[in-house]
Amino acid sequence: MAIHPIEFRYGTPEMKAVWTEEHRFLRIIDAEVALAQAEAACGMIPVDAAASIAEHAQSASLNRAKEIEDEIHHDMMAIVRAISEVCGESGRWVHYGATSNDILDTATGLQLRDALQILDRKLRSLLSALLDRSMETRNLVCIGRTHGQHGVPTTYGLRFAIWASEIGRHIERLEQMRPRVCVGQMTGAVGTQAAMGEHGIVVQEKMMSFLGIGSVEVSNQVIQRDRYAEYFCFLANVATTLDKIGVEIRSMQRTEIGEVEEAFGSKQVGSSTMPHKRNPIRSEQICGLARIVRSAVEPAFQNNTLWDERDLTNSSPERILFPEATILCDHIISLMTTVITGLLLRPDRIRSNLILLQGINMAESVMIELTKRGMPRQEAHEVIRVRSMDALETRRPLADLLSTTPDIIRYLSSTEIARLLDPEQYLGTSVSQVERLESRLRPLAK
């Protein structure tokens, strides 16, 4: 019976497959086979033994390994015995010179390689969606908000571009992190490679070369967990970007604002009791699951503070942290791509919110122009501030008050004031910024 929601509610099939027992078992076998091949290449074990192990190891049974584990209560040794059983006489060379975490941590490196390939592809797909929406809306003017209050105008294109630039940085971080995270080791009981003698360094390098991942330079019995802590920080960082986007979409979908709306199916139900509801449930799910992804960071850091050459306190949390955080992060990336692609924009509400304050939010534009025309900047600020406060209190258009203020009409005509209060005329380089970003990031997108 399913217990964890990942089993029945969250996660994509491709990422779940990376973290199944069966997949990890196969990656452990891959590591054992690569070890035998590397040792044979260095003359440590017979070449035909390595060939036999490569030929037969994949037929080892996970169920058989579990049967053995029930008897001996050691998971790695149970797998070694299960592999040895199917390799005949050559089985005596399986796991030669290795300690458990040489194989287990190397298998984790292989799983991380597989997971990062999926995350890379998903992030590039999300980037593409954000760039598409950014270019589509680069001229769509909307109200900017600071402290939750109306400010000068911006564009939806610039908002999408800001999110795209953040996803672009995550793609860069992934590429930079990959060689530090996707690594394996063959260092023996405490890191000295004593069981392999003079061949230790070469065996490790050849083994990882066969597997297609990096090799540690130095280690003890386990790969140092600062590498994995970086990985979990990366997942948390990605999740937080998605959380931020989700919060903004949820805010903009509030009934009182109503500028955007998640796509809503013709038969979709929003509430069990309020038939009219159209809730941003995907964005809410993203924001909620981002909390779980971030929660992996603290235990990931604690997993690096092990006793001496190692203890076992990292093992049990990692069995949970790796699949849970990775599967959920992948899930919310996929979900956010769906949200962005299907997001509905409401031009009428965008426009009504843009002009809601009847020009008061455009006070900066007038202040800047007054300064250009000769009024000291601080004086211009104070004059416009006083008139803006009057407009807020009386609920009158700012243009009406400015056009009757002697200190202002000495510099500006009513026509000029009206132009300065037009939000369409106060967008600065926002369109150029979007187009420049799109040109730079489009090669990263898929």
Which of these is catalytic: 59, 271, 414, 432? 271
Which of these is catalytic: 73, 147, 266, 276? 147
CA distances from 294 to 58, 257, 316, 318, 321 (A): 36, 30, 18, 15, 11
**How many residues are recorded in the chain?**
446
Rounded distance, CA 85 to CA 66, Å?
A: 14
Rounded distance, CA 161 to CA 440, Å?
A: 11
Rounded distance, CA 366 to CA 363, Å?
A: 5
Q: What is the pLDDT of residues 123-174, one digit of tens each?
A: 999 999 999 999 999 999 999 999 999 999 999 999 999 999 999 999 999 9
**Rounded to 5°, angle at Cα 25 from 24 and 29:** 115
**What's the mean per-residue pLDDT of the chain?**
96
What's the first-to-final CA gap in the chain, in angstroms?
Answer: 38
8 Å CB contact between 320 and 6:
no
Task: Pull the structure tokens for residue 179.
Answer: 């060689």
Q: Whole-prediction pTM value? A: 0.95
Give the helix, strand, coil percentages of the chain, each rounded to 5. Answer: 70, 5, 25
Task: Return the half-sphere exposure (C-beta side, CA atoms, 13 A cut-off) of residue 175.
Answer: 9
Which run of H or of E encompasses 113?
Answer: helix 100-136
In angstroms, how far is CA 186 from the centroid of its own chain? 31
If one counts every other C-beta atom within 10 angstroms of the C-beta of residue 282, the result is 20
Which has the closest alpha carbon to 131: 371, 378, 446?
446
Q: What 3-state class would DSSP assign to 151?
A: strand
Q: What is the pLDDT of residue 124?
A: 98
Q: Taking 90 as the threshold, does the pLDDT of residue 81 lie above it?
A: yes
Q: What is the pLDDT of residue 53?
A: 97
Q: How many separate helices (H) and strands (E) can be counted in the chain?
A: 20, 6
Q: What is the pLDDT of residues 209-257, one digit of tens each?
A: 999 999 999 999 999 999 999 999 999 999 999 999 999 999 999 999 9
Q: What is the pLDDT of residue 26?
A: 97
Q: What's the sign of the alpha-carbon dihedral 321, 71, 220, 199?
A: negative
Q: Taking 80 as the threshold, does the pLDDT of residue 271 lie above it?
A: no
Domains parsed from the chain with CATH numbers? 99-185+223-260+278-356+427-446 (1.20.200.10), 360-420 (1.10.40.30)
Rounded distance, CA 274 to CA 263, Å?
A: 18
The answer to whether 271 is a known catalytic residue is yes
Q: Taking 90 as the threshold, does the pLDDT of residue 446 lie above it?
A: no
Q: What is the pLDDT of residues 377-414, one digit of tens each?
A: 999 999 999 999 999 999 999 999 999 999 999 999 99
* Beta carbons within 8 Å of 206's beta carbon, 6+ residues apart: 37, 38, 41, 42
Answer with the residue of higher pLDDT: 2 or 240: 240
Q: What is the pLDDT of residue 274?
A: 83
The answer to whether 147 is a known catalytic residue is yes
Q: What is the per-residue DSSP string for 36-53? A: HHHHHHTTSS-HHHHHHH
Q: What is the pLDDT of residue 323?
A: 97
Rounded distance, CA 68 to CA 60, Å?
A: 12
Residue 276 banded pLDDT, cuts 50, 70, 90: confident
* Beta carbons within 8 Å of 151's beta carbon, 6+ residues apart: 143, 144, 145, 361
Rounded distance, CA 62 to CA 82, Å?
A: 8
Q: What is the pLDDT of residues 12-46, one digit of tens each?
A: 999 999 999 999 999 999 999 999 999 999 999 99
Residue 267 banded pLDDT, cuts 50, 70, 90: confident
Q: Which residues pair with 214 in a beta bridge?
A: 183
